[in-house]
Structure 1
Amino acid sequence: MRRSAPVPDATRRPRAAVGLDWGEHALKAVEVQRTSSGYEILRAVSVAVPDAVRNGTPAAVGEWLADTLRREGFRAAQAVWSIPRHRLILRWMQLPGGTPEEIAQMVRFQAGKDLPLPMDRLRYNYARLDEAAPPDGAELPAKTRVLFAAVPAEVADRAAAVVDAAGLAVQGAVPSMMATWALARAARPDLFRAGPGSPASGGEASLGPAAGPDPSPASTVLIDIGWGSCEVSWCDASGIRHSRSAPVGLSALTAEPDAGVAPAAPPPPGSAAPETPRPDPRVALRENAPLPPAAEAWVGRLLAEIGRTLRAWKTEPGGLNIGNVLLAGGGARWPVLQARIGAELGVPVAPLEPSGGLVGTAVPPASLDPSFATAAGAALAALGEDAPFLNLLGALEVRRRRLHGVLVAAGIAGAVLLTGGLVTGWVLLARREAELHAREAQIKELKPRVDQILQTEKQVALASQWGPNRVALADLLREITVLFPPEAYVTTMSVDESGLIRLSGRSKSNQVMSKLVNGLNGSPLFANAAMGAFTKNNDRGEFRYDYTITVQIRSLIPEKANGDKTKAKT
């Protein structure tokens, strides 16, 4: 019989938590404890997930998870897990300044207009990027930047059911790039200085800009390799500016050996003697030996996707200026990938190791390679008071620390009213009455504008009734732009009501277009890409071939009779 999961306190963060990173074939779990002087890693483990477990019910997966954690000595009662980038919907928004409640309403309204799924089918939240919430009574900023993240409800709810079935309290779910960002802040604080939301300023938790004059314009690039994809995030003093998941496929090069388990913390005195530590075969795999042809081809695809992503970001206004590159994931032979990525980019690449920047660890640091970065970062995101916890379980909410401060302030105000007597009460009531009259006048003044906004909202809703699977055209064009090779160009593009896109133009060769078709089929936004006509034209220049390509928008694929969509597996 499993133990019942305790209910976590909504106004404070736990002292210890287990971070979970579920991969295609393995589970990474890291237990982190918050101490008076920092954070300490207590236990870390990497285990292969059997196929029967991975495809089982939440109850069966939860039972397996509970047995695994108990066998490895994990004791934390709360768990948080990371959600990989390719399962997320991200939006960077610039909004008018306002209170936390007003920002939440604007984010919800803006997201509801352009997301591919209805809001009631998502689990979502947001984090402020450029500044903390201003103190009460302070002047509101003119603009506010936020990062909005969402995940399909069935993905988040299944993960929550698994954790609950394991007897753990559901602390939350965090986007994977936010998990690695949390670890990078702890491991390399010199790259991420505290902003207005730090504890010293008393503000809301923030991804805010660096304190002090003249912050460095150089940016940090986080590269997380796993799940058959490469997750690239552009970070600087203001937070995560961009993030992209590029499909590269699975490779034996990034596989974790079944026996590659980080030893757990030693047992307390008086307990049974520990088993003989198992050898870590990853050490033998870290030698920079020549790669087999299949692995070399995979590394080539990986480097091409990283280079394509960074080149696209460099062309944007205020483009990317790479100052530091941190590598997470990568499997047993991550040093090989570290060296190859550094040679490709021409900058040093440092491993994002969980042991860096922490006050201590009961696990041998050599066992804590970058493949544990996401799991450790997920636990740190839930524990850290100085970093925002972008928890995707639930609707938009005011940051927890601010909520805790509101509750404390309310208690103090109540004590003042009780001890102040009736005179103070009458003064407060008179002041509130004057405020209500002033607010009523403001409402009357704003009513015509509110009526106009409501009418516009109705028109937007009417125009959006062509289906629940709305697609942001800007995202599609951005993805096509990233994937499109320089050896070809587009002359015409059309999209019909079924979501079928037709591209036509000119190319240098058939191989170039075949590579584009493969890239479209590997994208999370498209499916069923196919080459149509490919003929030689009369042009005597480089672009001597005419082509036609058709590709289907993945979220608009018609449903079958049984209700299941013909989506390709991502």
Structure 2
Amino acid sequence: MIYLKTAVGIELRGEDLLISALQSNFSGAVFNHFKRFADYRSRDKEELRQEIASFVKSSGLSKENIVLGIPRRDLILRYLDLPGEVLDDLKQVIHYQVQSFEPTEEDRFCYDYALLNRGGDGKRLSVLLVMIRRSLLDEHLQILNALGIRPTLVTGSSMALSNLFLRSRSDLQDKTYVLVDLSPSSMELIVLRRGAFAYSRPVPKQAGQSWAELMLQELNEATSKLRLEPEETLEKIVLTGEAAESAHAELAAVLQDCELIRNAVDLKIAGPHRPRVQEAANCIGLAYTGMVRRAPIRINLLPQELRTHQTRWAYVPAAILTLAILILAIVLACHRTFQNQALVRKLDREIEALKQPVQKVQSLRSEAEELEKRIRILEDRLCNRDMNLEILRELTNLLPPDTYLMTYTYREGVIQMAGVSASAPNLISLLEKSPLLKDVTQRGGIIKDAQTGKDRFSFEAKLER
């Protein structure tokens, strides 16, 4: 299959490194590649580099569009409420805000921000500020560079997960959704309010603590900080992460509208990777963030000097490929049309050539039908003709001279006769030999006539058609 665009998402999840890929064509994006590399920090870097390179090559992936997901514990989030007048100078205002958070010149931040929403009257701005210490980001980038990976965009894994969830949502107005990322030992609770990234908090799971207990605790914490209005409700709670499926039954028993993310997102998934959607959801969100031009939450923590800026010429190969595919599709469509027209003309010629033989066959068929009709008429006449004379002639020839018929009737193929004979019992075998009679039977008994001394008989027979 031909894909026009590929985006690779890489998530740093605990001690593991997760890689997933989305590839798109005219029918949309498809999640068709995923792999988890365990203990990436402690493994031999050259061995791991070759393993990653082999996976990328065998999957036919490109390294030109890689999005790195930073775990939530490494990020610092600040929600800023600013006056609407600073909108034109928002970038500079944010820069000053970041400087106020930096304790020393050496301990600097890489940051980016997203405008969440404006107040109803436009007098206030709500801004999400995302920061990571430069030293920590450099550490992550150095490890990836040693593995042959150079990301083009760096964002938070939880923000990429939110982008994946929001991609197919059109019902965001005045609705609040909760995304919960569950790993075996921790939980991150994310609140999306009116389509904006309103809250995020990672917490560890204590020994002996149930998922339901931890979830209710964090939901209370989130609703308290967000100050939800009385009429606001949590529309849905969506679970993701490798521990989501095992925790789902427990959480569904205490929480309504709780479901797994594989049932909440509209995404084409290659068959072998369908069971991995829960585990790979953040990673898929990272690839999706790199694939779309306008993600709902667009945060890039990669320093400006490390970013690659694609020129318009970068899209030329894709445009040429698209044009070539369109031309090929048009040619194939036209070829089929021309082929059909040629076939129609050929069939017309063959039909014209067969017209005269077909007409002869039709004429012969008409004559045959007329002859069959005449034959049926003759057969009907023969069947319905008066057979009395033939039957009487036949009886005259068969019966002995000492036999006389006193009565004779013929009706609807049944013959009844009565008379006297010197040897009446022998008459039945004589009558059975006639080609005109069948089923000859005696009616009543044979009686001796007192005057003549002959046998008085009564027989019945059927006409042999």
Normalized against structure 2, the TM-score is what? Answer: 0.57
Structure-1 separation of matches of 2:271 and 2:154: 25
Residues 366, 40 of structure 1: alpha-carbon distance in 2 compared, 3 angstrom cutoff: closer
Q: Is the 8 A contact 1:354 1:369 kept in 2?
A: no
Residues 386, 28 of structure 1: alpha-carbon distance in 2 compared, 3 angstrom cutoff: same
2:340 counterpart of 1:383: no
Which position in structure 2 is the counterpart of 1:107? 94
Shift of 1:376: 0.4
2:357 counterpart of 1:370: no
Which position in structure 1 is the counterpart of 2:55? 69
Shift of 1:116: 5.8
Which position in structure 1 is the counterpart of 2:192? 235
Shift of 1:118: 5.5
The one of 86, 89, 110 aligned to 1:123 = 110
Shift of 1:121: 2.2
SS in 1 for 2:151: strand
Structure-2 separation of matches of 1:143 and 1:329: 36
Shift of 1:225: 1.4
Shift of 1:157: 1.6
Structure-1 separation of matches of 2:305 and 2:148: 26
SS in 2 for 1:242: strand
2:34 counterpart of 1:34: no
2:79 counterpart of 1:92: yes
Relative to its length, the structure with more helix (as a share) is 2
* Alignment map for 1:404-483 (pairs within 5 Å): none
SS in 1 for 2:165: helix
Shift of 1:29: 1.3
Shift of 1:247: 1.3
Q: Is the 8 A contact 1:112 1:119 kept in 2?
A: no
Letter of the 2:261 counterpart: L
SS in 1 for 2:82: strand
Letter of the 1:394 counterpart: P
Letter of the 2:110 counterpart: R
Shift of 1:392: 0.9
Which position in structure 1 is the counterpart of 2:169? 189
Structure-2 separation of matches of 1:142 and 1:310: 30
Q: Is the 8 A contact 2:34 2:273 kept in 1?
A: no
Deviation readout 1:25-69 (Å, 9 max, x if unpaired): 4332111123344322231123433xxx41368x64862563453
Letter of the 1:107 counterpart: I
2:11 counterpart of 1:21: yes
Q: Is the 8 A contact 1:126 1:396 kept in 2?
A: no
SS in 2 for 1:382: helix
Structure-2 separation of matches of 1:66 and 1:151: 26
Which position in structure 1 is the counterpart of 2:67? 80
2:233 counterpart of 1:321: yes
Q: Structure 1: any 5+ residue segments left out of the alignment? A: 1-13, 133-139, 193-214, 250-293, 405-570
2:295 counterpart of 1:309: no
Structure-1 separation of matches of 2:238 and 2:115: 23
Structure-2 separation of matches of 1:310 and 1:119: 37
Deviation readout 1:375-401 (Å, 9 max, x if unpaired): 00011112122314201112699xx99
The one of 111, 116, 126 aligned to 1:145 = 126
Structure-2 separation of matches of 1:164 and 1:101: 37
Between the aligned residues of both structures, percent identity stands at 21
Residues 304, 74 of structure 1: alpha-carbon distance in 2 compared, 3 angstrom cutoff: farther
Structure-1 separation of matches of 2:51 and 2:123: 48
Shift of 1:355: 9.5
Q: Is the 8 A contact 1:28 1:46 kept in 2?
A: yes
SS in 1 for 2:66: strand
Structure-1 separation of matches of 2:106 and 2:196: 25
SS in 2 for 1:391: coil
The one of 16, 32, 46 aligned to 2:36 = 46
Shift of 1:113: 2.1
Structure-1 separation of matches of 2:191 and 2:265: 21
Which position in structure 2 is the counterpart of 1:178? 159
Residues 395, 75 of structure 1: alpha-carbon distance in 2 compared, 3 angstrom cutoff: closer
Shift of 1:111: 2.8
Shift of 1:91: 0.2
Structure-2 separation of matches of 1:26 and 1:219: 31
Higher alpha-carbon Rg: 2
Q: Is the 8 A contact 2:107 2:135 kept in 1?
A: no
Which position in structure 2 is the counterpart of 1:155? 136
Q: Is the 8 A contact 1:339 1:349 kept in 2?
A: no
Residues 154, 228 of structure 1: alpha-carbon distance in 2 compared, 3 angstrom cutoff: farther
SS in 1 for 2:262: coil
Relative to its length, the structure with more strand (as a share) is 2
Which position in structure 2 is the counterpart of 1:279? none
Shift of 1:248: 1.5
* Alignment map for 1:185-334 (pairs within 5 Å): 185-186=166-167, 188-192=168-172, 215=173, 217-226=174-183, 228-248=185-205, 297-298=208-209, 300=210, 302-315=211-224, 316-319=226-229, 321-331=233-243, 334=244
Shift of 1:130: 0.8
Shift of 1:76: 2.0
Letter of the 1:123 counterpart: C
Residues 119, 244 of structure 1: alpha-carbon distance in 2 compared, 3 angstrom cutoff: farther
Structure-1 separation of matches of 2:47 and 2:81: 40
Residues 349, 72 of structure 1: alpha-carbon distance in 2 compared, 3 angstrom cutoff: farther
Deviation readout 1:88-136 (Å, 9 max, x if unpaired): 100001112357661111112123224567685222111110159xxxx
Q: How many residues align?
A: 302
Letter of the 1:54 counterpart: R
